[in-house]
Amino acid sequence: MSQKTATSYGQVIEYIQDRLYLASYTHPPDAHTPFPYPSKQAKTPSKRSARQQGPVASATKLKAPVYFSIDRSLLYNAFHADFGPLHIGHLYRFAVQLHDVLGDPANADRGVVFWSNADSRSRANAACLLACYMVLIQSWPPHLALAPIAQMDPPCMPFRDAGYSQADYVLNIQDVVYGVWKAKEEGICSLKSFSLEEYEKFERVDMGDFNWLTPDFLAFASPQHAPTHVISPTSPLWEKLPKTVSEVVRSKELPTPFKNVLAHFSTKNIGLVVRLNSELYSPSYFTALGIQHLDMIFDDGTCPPLHLVRTFVNLAHEMISVRNKGIAVHCKAGLGRTGCLIGAYLIYRHGFTANEIIAFMRFMRPGMVVGPQQHWLHLNQGTFREWWFEDSIKDKLAALQPSTPTRGHKQRLASNGQTFTPPNGSQRRAALGEITTNGERAVSASLGVNDENLPAPTPGQPRKTSKIYGAASRHGSPQRSQPQDQEPYVRPDTEIMAVQRAGQGESESEEEYQLRMLAKRAASRSPNSKSPTSHGTGSKRRAVSCTTTTTTMQTTQEWVGGESDIENRVNRPKTPGSSSKSGNGSLSLGKVRSSPTRRSTESKTTISGVRKTSGRVGSMGSGSKVR
């Protein structure tokens, strides 16, 4: 008799009063679904109007709201355990559907309920999509877009990366909204120049698998085509390379994805292609079209060293600001390593936070920045902003004109006395001599952070097709290659240090040093050394030496030469700057001097006449440098 109605899960949130709502239901809602918002009340009449007009109806009943959802039409293509956020193509289609519902004359006086399924993932995607719509299309400030959903009950599930390891870094809706808003404010994200047709076409693996992140950066997966070596202009193969877009289109040897990449790059003013993975194609296909190609290869699933990031930032900034051309970056899948370098530059140039830039890049190309690379961006974001500050200050100071000192300043200079040249002075000292500039900085090859603060590399990297990994990637992580000798792995956390009480001069020989130390010991005997102690034992100097030997290990892996790629190899966690070293360090404890005050307070000797050792730690002097 009674029809089964849908029950609301959580809250029905009002975004625009009496017009737009956000809700979630365990069953598809219909006209019989209870709507918690009351009917519109008529204006309360005043006493004077009530006498003149008589009784007025207490309320006017509203029409039932209209419901619509995207859970079955706009689906997220997950790599592994990730579920969102939905990308910019989803937002475009959602906006078109929402405007159709709002603009329908039949819904002019009805509320519109955008609903999702009751699970936490669907609720998170729906709330995030609606908030991004308000920011990017309706130009709401982020705080207004986030206010209705900030206290959702129950809360939404945070977003995770596309890797195969356990999630240890999450993003929430606020990160995505602020990332999209920041990109809009910086002028690098706009729907006015967005082409939905191109986006949905070229994001497919069989059509090229590339996406524009900003007007200057394109991320794409590595093309695969033989040969993979550089083709010399004197080689017969050079004549077969396509030199124009029309020749690329007519080529029958190139696969369709590679053909789309070459044609699109030539027509969209790409000036530089940066490859981060091993060679799977010949760079001569790009150089023949007038596009520069650069290899900056580092291991799959790892984080780039800072000196490589600094080099990439300099090249990218020159290509964008000076040559006014775009940059295309790729690794094997165009997700992890690609997101590291592009994200570092966008933080450097536009001041994003790590969470904002990761969220924005995933909004433009799902799956970007994987595993420990998220922590790496978070820990180094301050360094990337410092680079921009230093470069900006350097340019501003270089543009300043030298000013003539005032009269009072000249008098102060004349009273300074005799001037002298400081030792080891530099004749080429710049205006920023006290500041280590980016151009002169010797950036270490480390990751910029302690290796212990980064999780281990993930066992496998996400791909848009799982056939590369086979059954092993779907049911478990690949097995790590074990060394032949089953020795336990020792983490090289310590360096070899030698601590001595006194240092030896560079011009002093070993014999002179020993004689000087013997003379020093004879001259500094204890005042009570001549007096016999109890039981007739003399106070002899007791020397205690400790020898510490520390050995660090370095594991080297050799790869089979027959493989064409280095992408899916599992690496041990690396400690930056570690090397195989061993050494001995000697530590000697100084003498214990007795004094009348100490003799009166200390008790006491044992039956054999040996004084108890105190808990005080003697100073070791200055340690020698670590070599």
Burial of 593 (0-12, 13-18, 19+ CB in 10 A): exposed
The backbone region for 66, taken as left when phi is positive above 0, alpha when psi lies in -120 to 50, beta otherwise, is beta
Alpha-carbon distance of 334 to 277, in angstroms, equals 10
Residue type, 241: L
Q: Closest Cα to residue 97, out of 72, 61, 123?
A: 72
Two tokens, residue 422: 């400081």
Residue type, 88: I
Helical residues (DSSP H) of 400-487, grouped into ranges:
407-414, 471-475
For 222, what's the count of Cα atoms within 13 Å in the CB-facing half-sphere? Answer: 28
Residue type, 161: D
Two tokens, residue 226: 């033989």
Q: Contact, 311 vs 438, CB < 8 A?
A: no
Two tokens, residue 302: 């790892």
* Sequential DSSP letters for 364-382: HSTT-S-THHHHHHHHHHH
DSSP class of residue 292? E
**Which residues, at least 6 apart from 583, have a Cβ–Cβ distance to it below 8 Å?**
496, 498, 549, 550
Alpha-carbon distance of 377 to 340, in angstroms, equals 7
Helix (H, G, I), strand (E, B) or coil at 393: helix
Q: Is 189 considered catalytic here?
A: no
Two tokens, residue 71: 């859970």
Element (H, E) at 355: helix 354-364
User: Among 128, 156, 331, 340, which one carries the catalytic annotation?
Assistant: 331
Q: Contact, 364 vs 211, CB < 8 A?
A: yes
Two tokens, residue 213: 């992140």
Two tokens, residue 439: 């151009």
Alpha-carbon distance of 596 to 588, in angstroms, equals 26
**Axis-axis angle for helices 336-350, 354-364 (nearest 10):** 120
Query: CA gyration radius for the chain?
Result: 36
Residues recognised as catalytic: 331
